[in-house]
Chain A
Amino acid sequence: MKIGVLALQGAISEHLDMLEACGAEGIRVRRPEDFNGLEGLIIPGGESTTMGRLIENLSLGEPIRSLQEGGVPFMGTCAGLVLLGREAAGCPEQRLLGYMDTVVVRNGFGRQCESFEASLDLPFLGRAPFPGVFIRAPYIARAGKGVEILGSVEGRDIAARQGRVLTVAFHPELTEDLRLHRYFLQMAKNLP
């Protein structure tokens, strides 16, 4: 499977390594022509402010939109969860793609000193706990009816799916656990 990783800034090579380990073909996507033939797109962790501006400055909004309209599934991790949301609470300047009906809180757990690791209970990935790495992480404060919340930590929602869009507030790409990437690949495979 050909899966793109939006290669603006942040943990790009880490996601490509995960895809390779899953037996998928990961591709760096940063020019409009790179979007051809993708079967999925990952929006990695990084600085959401910077990534939002780069999408605009590099005119990538249009190719991303046509990918989404073409039914290609998206996965967003950390900054990706922010960018895929509908609204960033308290940050009206934040550029968003808005493919998931969520209100997100950027840096929702605090600054870097509050960044943490926690074992997560994510039933959609199986029984074993998932290693959650949260770095200046966001969370989902409100979600529309179409959004299924898939996990939470400290009473805050940190994983969700709405149709073809999957988002998590943590960084699976900084661990060795391939289950979330496998789930996303499966999700892409099973689409009608």
Chain B
Amino acid sequence: MILEEALIVVEKGTLRVKKGMAQMQKGGVIMDVTTPEQARIAEAAGAVAVMALERVPADIRAAGGVARMADPDIILKIMEAVTIPVMAKARIGHFVEAQILQALGVDYIDESEVLTPADELFHIQKDKFTVPFVCGARDLGEALRRVGEGAAMLRTKGEPGTGNVVEAVRHMRRMMGQVRQVAAMSADELMAEAKNINAPYELLKEVKERGILPVVNFAAGGIATPADAALMMQLGADGVFVGSGIFKSKDPEPRARAIVEATFNYDNPEVLARVSRGLGEAMPGLEISSLKEADRMQVRGW
């Protein structure tokens, strides 16, 4: 036994297995769930992972007050209910919530603006952890700052819990547009660009050389319909998070299935037309301009 261990060096929590975990999720849908029953519905519908929560973003928005990491009991019950990966949210900067989530054995942590931030200056130092992290971003600078801290996956922030896709579209277009601009820059323009968008220079250089983001980037924040999911995929998302969109709709099961099919067939309007039929009412939506500045979750974090 000792001999065997000496021969094979096993290394856990490397950047490659963290980023790789997100690569295995590409083309898939990650669904917010609050109960083991919902988790099983999500798994049966073809979700690639579930996000275990105490409340979906729309309910967090409605409830107000301080939103924290979910009760570990809820997370553990959901982990027992399904065999697909289970993610959970920690507050921005709350590295102890993240330590707890890692100890529980969750597969991915979302350092999320949906919860009330615990630190307005510092995000979690994510490269210290064995468990990988996903973080939200509104532009390339923010995205690369999070990757600089060790995020192994990105997502747009959008405006969570609104059922309104406009902010996710804004963030995805901005990020993708900036990647294209940086790729077209000459090497001597890069440092100035790093300064302009407050991005770590080395990561920006990598974006320029490869012409893509350094980690997988999903869409999130306001996706409510199969058409929304396909829109985000056509704009360049690697996959889709659906928060309140499924379990705040009238009939979650067929909607979950339809969003999975739409994400897969995002470039096939005939299929999109078929899966969009007869889904019943989507979640109620919120006009972004009706939100008070303090209620805009996307401005949390930097």
Contact = CB atoms under 8 A, between A and B. Distances in A.
Interface of A: 7-14, 30, 45-47, 49-50, 53-54, 57-58, 78-79, 91, 106-107, 111-121, 133-136, 153-155, 171, 174
A91 B24 contact: no
Interface stretch (B51-59, B101-109, B143-151, B287-295): B101-109
B253 to A, nearest CB: 14
B181 interface: no
A90 to B, nearest CB: 9
B25 interface: yes
Contact of B24 (A30, A46, A116): A46
A9 B107 contact: no
Interface stretch (B13-21, B90-98, B120-128): B13-21
A117 B24 contact: no
A135 B264 CA distance: 23
A47 B16 contact: no
A12 to B, nearest CB: 7
Contacts of A133: 16-17, 20
Contact of B23 (A8, A58, A174): A174
Contacts of B25: 9-10, 46-47
Interface of B: 4, 7-14, 16-18, 20-21, 23-28, 43-44, 46-49, 83-85, 102, 105-108, 130-132, 260-261, 264
A154 B187 CA distance: 46
A13 to B, nearest CB: 8
A19 to B, nearest CB: 17
B21 A115 contact: yes
A114 B44 CA distance: 25
B261 A57 contact: yes
Contacts of A135: 17, 20-21, 24
Nearest to A30: B264
A106 to B, nearest CB: 6
Given A47-B49, A50-B46, A91-B83, A117 B17 contact: yes
Contacts of A174: 16, 20, 23
Contacts of B102: 113
Nearest to B108: A112
A45 B28 CA distance: 13
A117 B16 contact: yes
A155 B83 CA distance: 23
Given A118-B11, A136-B107, 12 more contacts: A9-B28, A50-B48, A54-B46, A106-B83, A112-B107, A112-B108, A112-B132, A121-B7, A135-B24, A136-B24, A153-B8, A174-B16
6 contacts: A50-B28, A79-B24, A113-B12, A114-B12, A116-B10, A133-B16
A9 B26 CA distance: 6
